[in-house]
Chain A
Amino acid sequence: DVKVTQSSRYLVKRTGEKVFLECVQDMDHENMFWYRQDPGLGLRLIYFSYDVKMKEKGDIPEGYSVSREKKERFSLILESASTNQTSMYLCASSLGLAGVFIQYFGAGTRLSVL
């Protein structure tokens, strides 16, 4: 089974802190994604990566950055956390084959910024 592991289930941070959310997948997937999930809005794509050291902006990249130094690990960085970044963050991965785009999700990190 594919396993996508997010390092923290719950995080509480203060406004202005730099926050790192870590995600690791064990299936050698090329693609990795970061979403945020808010009630009534579904999942919105923040950033994604198709390869090591490669990143692409999603729909809501403002206030976030990412890092992918190794194929299995994709980090989301909040440079200076703000209260409007309080949310559930979901990481996903998928194979890179064209047309076969099943995404596998981690359990999520619920971030509260105070």
Chain B
Amino acid sequence: AQSVTQPDIHITVSEGASLELRCNYSYGATPYLFWYVQSPGQGLQLLLKYFSGDTLVQGIKGFEAEFKRSQSSFNLRKPSVHWSDAAEYFCAVDNNNDMRFGAGTRLTVKP
């Protein structure tokens, strides 16, 4: 069955530290890949997307993600986390107009 896995339910990092959120998917072909962020009490905002081409994509708020076909992964990274990055992050995969979301990773930022 097609699925999107975010292995980490909750991650805590110190402000200024680097961040990597993991995402793996199980699809036959290369789907379209997305990362969304949800601040408390808000809807989802698109951080970045991968459709084709360069496997390292840049997004808003200083985030980037790298698509690795061999690992079926699309991990989200940020070199230096800010307190305002505390939120829930969702990886999403669109395969032939069938969008699937991961369960989310909640990020806590320590002062």
- Write the residues of chain A forming the contact surface with B, with a CB cutoff of 8 angstroms: 4, 6, 9, 35, 40-43, 45, 90, 92, 98-108
Contact = CB atoms under 8 A, between A and B. Distances in A.
Interface string B5-43: 000010000000000000000000000101010000111
- The 8 lowest CB-CB distance pairs between A and B, nearest first, are A105-B43, A42-B103, A105-B44, A43-B101, A42-B101, A107-B43, A101-B94, A106-B43
Chain A interface helix/strand/loop/mixed? loop
Interface of B: 4, 9, 32, 34, 36, 41-46, 49, 51, 90, 94, 97, 99, 101-104
Contacts of B90: 42-43
A99 B102 CA distance: 20
A102 B34 contact: yes
A103 B45 CA distance: 9
Contact of A99 (B34, B51, B99, B103): B51
